[in-house]
């Protein structure tokens, strides 16, 4: 084989290698970083597990840069510097977050925080504090005790289900007639419900009954208003009764306070009444006695006749004395007017009369 053929083959291999490298660069996204300008952004983490040079930095799921350096700082944390594409702005409200996958790969995600307009871009030498997402394996390790408890609970639930299925099997298939009784009671309840619904349908199916129910519902507000008025009237009546009771209390309180004196007065009155009754009894006894004056007046007709005759004589005498009394009145009137008519002295004395 000649040297020219050898050089041609080597050239073809180099060209193919360059073409394959270009294809790989395009597929893995490294081509833009080779032809586009970047600027550094500093980040700080407490733990940078899985972060190394070339680790991708993504924003909203889009590759915007790669890690340039990873080193420990004097504060005990990890300082990470990433080269971000020049056309991608990084703001102060964004927080770097390390996210790891189940395969062990890690990446940095720029997660926006509370956005306040206008947003401020990160300046040179400014450090963005970052956080580390929990490793899936660590999360699984923390969940392992809980998974064990859950498996134990699942085992207990399985045993309970098995026991329940056995009870149901004994209830349905065994000799216990409880399920049959329950079924019969259910059938009877359904039959009663069907009868009740039939009665309701019979009532509600009658147009007159529906009209009456509708009229009753329409009259219900008026009935409630009348009931309210009645209750108010009862309240007024109760108020009046309360006032009357208070007035009666005002009347009975003095009676209660003067009860002892009134009882004494009533006792004295009863005593005097007893004396009056005794006197009336004595008068009645004297009246009934035949030897007494009143008894003779009542029982002896001659005494009554004498009293009647005396009364008649007094009447006659008073009739006969009336003209004399009239004459005396006229005489006294004349003497009072003309005293000179009374003898010689009266004729000599010329004084005026009394009238």
106 touches 55 (CB < 8 A): yes
Mean pLDDT, residues 316-341 taken together:
73
pLDDT of residue 257: 72
Place of tokens 């004498």: 306
Report whether pLDDT(332) > 60.
Answer: yes
Average pLDDT over residues 284-305: 63
pLDDT confidence tier of residue 141, bands split at 50, 70 and 90: low
Q: Taking Cα atoms as reference points, which of 91, 80, 95 lies closest to residue 123?
A: 91
Angle subtended at Cα 217 by Cα 211 and Cα 220, rounded to the nearest 5 degrees: 140
The angle formed by the CA atoms of residues 349, 351 and 354, to the nearest 5 degrees, is 125
212, 214, 218, 220: CA torsion to nearest 10: 70
Q: How many CB atoms lie within 10 A of CB 322?
A: 10
**% of the chain exceeding 90 in pLDDT:** 15
Tens-place pLDDT, residues 58-106: 998 899 999 999 999 888 899 999 999 999 999 999 999 998 876 668 8
Give the number of other CB atoms < 10 A from CB of residue 108: 26
Does this model's pTM top 0.75? My answer is no
Q: At what angle do helices 207-257 and 178-204 cross, to 10 degrees?
A: 90
pLDDT tens, 208-251?
Answer: 877 888 888 888 888 888 888 888 888 888 888 888 878 777 76
Q: Is the pLDDT of residue 143 over 50?
A: yes
Cis peptide before 118 (omega within 30 of 0): yes
For 21, the token pair is 């490298």
CATH class held by domain 38-136:
mainly beta
Per the structure block, which two tokens stand in for 180?
Answer: 């049959």
pLDDT at 31 over 70: no
Residue 34 confidence (pLDDT):
54
Mean pLDDT over each residue of the chain, to the nearest integer: 77
So what's the pLDDT on residue 311?
A: 76
Query: What pLDDT sits at residue 67?
Result: 94
pLDDT for res 297: 60
Alpha-carbon distance of 205 to 37, in angstroms, equals 88
């Amino acid at each position: 084989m000649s040297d020219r053929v050898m050089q041609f083959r080597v050239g073809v291999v180099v060209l193919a290698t360059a073409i394959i490298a270009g294809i790989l660069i395009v597929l893995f996204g490294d081509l833009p970083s080779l032809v586009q300008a970047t600027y550094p952004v500093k980040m700080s983490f407490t733990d940078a597990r899985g972060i190394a040079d070339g680790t991708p930095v993504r924003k909203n799921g889009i590759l915007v840069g790669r890690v340039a350096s990873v080193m420990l700082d004097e504060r005990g944390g990890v300082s990470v510097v990433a080269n971000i594409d020049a056309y991608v702005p990084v703001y102060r409200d964004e927080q770097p977050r390390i996210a790891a996958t189940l395969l062990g790969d890690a990446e940095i995600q720029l997660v926006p925080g509370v956005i306040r307009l206008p947003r401020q871009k990160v300046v040179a030498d400014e450090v963005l504090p970052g956080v580390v997402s929990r490793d899936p394996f660590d999360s699984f390790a923390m969940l392992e005790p809980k998974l064990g408890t859950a498996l134990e609970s699942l085992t207990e639930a399985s045993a309970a289900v098995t026991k329940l299925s056995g009870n149901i099997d004994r209830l349905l298939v065994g000799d216990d007639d409880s399920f049959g009784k329950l079924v019969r009671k259910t059938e009877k309840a359904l039959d009663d419900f069907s009868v009740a619904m039939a009665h309701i349908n019979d009532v509600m199916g009658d147009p007159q009954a529906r009209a009456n129910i509708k009229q009753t519902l329409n009259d219900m507000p008026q009935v409630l208003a009348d009931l309210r008025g009645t209750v108010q009237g009862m309240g007024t009546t109760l108020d009046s009764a309360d006032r009357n009771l208070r007035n009666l209390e005002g009347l009975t309180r003095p009676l209660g306070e003067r009860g002892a004196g009134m009882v004494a007065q009533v006792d004295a009155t009863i005593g005097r009444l007893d004396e009056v009754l005794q006197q009336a009894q004595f008068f009645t006894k004297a009246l009934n006695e035949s030897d007494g004056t009143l008894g003779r007046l009542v029982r002896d007709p001659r005494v009554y006749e004498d009293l009647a005759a005396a009364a008649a004589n007094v009447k006659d005498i008073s009739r006969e004395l009336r003209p004399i009394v009239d004459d005396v009145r006229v005489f006294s009137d004349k003497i009072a007017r003309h005293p000179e008519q009374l003898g010689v002295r009266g004729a000599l004395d010329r004084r005026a009369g009394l009238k």
